[in-house]
Amino acid sequence: AQSVSQHNHHVILSEAASLELGCNYSYGGTVNLFWYVQYPGQHLQLLLKYFSGDPLVKGIKGFEAEFIKSKFSFNLRKPSVQWSDTAEYFCAVWATGGNEKLTFGTGTRLTIIP
């Protein structure tokens, strides 16, 4: 069965700092990878996705993620964070050919200090 690990439980950064949130998954086959964001009081929103092709994918609001197959990783990055990026971030994996479900990590709470 697939699983997802997010290494950082809570990250605190100042505005304009660079961000990298770690995500590792375990599954031997082909995967689709996602980052979702949950802003305070709002529902889960898709930030970006990787299905195939270029391993560097760009999402909304200046976020990007790189799929490194050899490391089973899909880390989220942003060069310069803003106060409005304060939110909970979830990495998720869909194992193609496996159970038809989205498996989430435990989430990383990001707090941006103005």
Q: Which positions lie near another protein, rule CB under 8 A?
A: 4, 6, 32, 34, 36, 42-46, 49, 51, 90, 92, 94, 96, 99-107
Q: How many CA atoms lie within 13 A of 8 on its CB side?
A: 19
| CB 11, min distance to another protein, A | 15
Q: Which is nearer to another protein, 17 or 102 (CB)?
A: 102
Closer to another protein by Cβ: residue 1 or 114 = 1
Q: How far is the CB of 71 from another protein (least distance, A)?
A: 21
Which is nearer to another protein, 43 or 70 (by Cβ)?
43
Backbone angles phi, psi at 69, to 5 degrees: -60, -40
Burial class (CB in 10 A: 0-12, 13-18, 19+), 86: middle
Q: Which residue type occupies 84?
A: S
DSSP 3-state of 71: helix
* Residue 101 CB, nearest approach to another protein (Å): 4
